[in-house]
Chain A
Amino acid sequence: MKIFDKILKSFTILILILMYLPIATMIFFSFNSTKSLVRFTGFSFRWYSALFQNRIVWGALYNSITVAVVVTLVSIVLALLMANAIVRYEYRGESIIDAFIYIPIVIPEITESLAILILYIFLGFPRGFWGVVLGHATFGATFAVVVLRARIAGLKKSVEEAARTLGADEIQTFFRITLPILMPGVIAAALLVFTLSFDDFIKTTKRIIHIFFRNISSILCRTLIYT
């Protein structure tokens, strides 16, 4: 069925190209000397120099990165604890725990963010850096658990037991044996959480008054202004 395969291949490549087109055009026009997204008038670094000089942008970038890093750390730690608990121990109340894990993913982002916003205002919780981090980490931890769960389930118990017979206590076993073996999964989860947090702007706009985020500013520098 060679023809069929060829069709599939072409289709995939076509879609791939279509996906990159908008981005490519954007990059193309970011070198445009005027504000237009549609007519190319001349080559210029104008927008990039404006970008680099803009303090707000740097501030926003810094914020986004720091938030994302902290969120990733918190999420991974929470997720490791939680995933280990769920996979290795069988106890009643599993369905409730499952609900806790899956529902944050299932709920649309705005409702969730608004709900957290309500909580913050209710408690008088400050809505700055930590407000965002803790909110993101809720989402992030649950995503990470989903990713890590399968990997932990595939871990052979005997390897950890071997380490214990060789004199490693629980903590040493975890850091020298368990974690290195889980590392690919941890990295995948970390990348996912980082991307989600970095890219997110719904939660950030709602809870930040004085912190911008990179995305808005980037657009500002490409061509148009979005508020």
Chain B
Amino acid sequence: MTVAVELINVSKRFGDVIANDDVSLTIEKNEFFSLLGPSGCGKTTTLRCIAGLEEPDSGIIKLSGKVVTNVPTHKRNVGLVFQDLALFSHMNVFDNIAFGLKMKKVSKEEIEKRVKEMLELVGLPGLEKRRIHQLSGGQRQRVALCRSLVPEPDVLLLDEPLGALDLKIRRRMTVELRRIQKETIKQRLLSCQIE
């Protein structure tokens, strides 16, 4: 199976506004794919359809070759890093990142191990107990990334991941993302949108 994500004639409208008009695209496994376009052109809608947060009005979405129209979001094994990060403010860093693993009923020891590894990978070792509001923008970004990466999704979606950061950090994060993709053990596909 070399095709990870496939969209076939997907259309979605919200009232009078047509967000996606007959979109078809194919993304290969291990591909780092970027959706580019001006704001309001429907990129987020596409990502949300792939994640299952929106249901297309017409068209088919396939993940790893299987049609997923009736599969709810929590069963799709798709990671999504939101534009506003959507971190769980009532949990600390560790619990945020561990959440996906908890849902998969991974053992406690395994969770600890993987969370620690991931924090090291993104350059935030030792911050497990911090609360979200104590983190800087760049740190939160990375925590959000960890959170989505750790459960090893088949597809990782990043919605304007670098939008909230200033230029210097943005450049650094782009390099980081590539590095992380190369270094993560399981081969994964990144679909990302950059303004």
Contacts and interface: CB of A to CB of B under 8 A. Distances in A.
- Judged by CB atoms under 8 Å, the answer to whether A and B touch is yes
Interface of A: 156, 158-159, 161-169, 172, 176-177, 180-181, 183
Describe A's contact surface by its main secondary structure: helix
5 contacts: A165-B53, A165-B73, A167-B151, A169-B72, A181-B90
Interface of B: 51-53, 72-80, 82-84, 86-90, 99-100, 103-104, 147-148, 151
Nearest to B157: A165
A99 to B, nearest CB: 27
B104 A167 contact: yes
Nearest to B147: A166
A45 B142 CA distance: 65
Contact of A165 (B83, B84, B148): B148
A215 to B, nearest CB: 38
Contacts of B151: 166-167
A162 B104 CA distance: 15
A161 B74 contact: no
A43 B51 CA distance: 73
A166 B103 contact: yes
Given A166-B99, A180-B90, A181-B89, A158 B84 contact: yes
Nearest to B84: A158
Nearest to A183: B90
A115 to B, nearest CB: 42
B74 A177 contact: no
A164 B53 contact: yes
Contacts of A159: 86-89
A162 B51 CA distance: 10
A167 B53 contact: no
A179 to B, nearest CB: 10
The 8 closest A-B pairs by CB, nearest first: A167-B103, A166-B100, A158-B86, A162-B86, A164-B73, A165-B80, A180-B90, A159-B86
Given A165-B51, A165-B79, A165-B148, A156 B90 contact: no
A177 B88 contact: yes
A116 B90 CA distance: 42
B90 A168 contact: no
A158 B82 contact: yes
A175 to B, nearest CB: 12
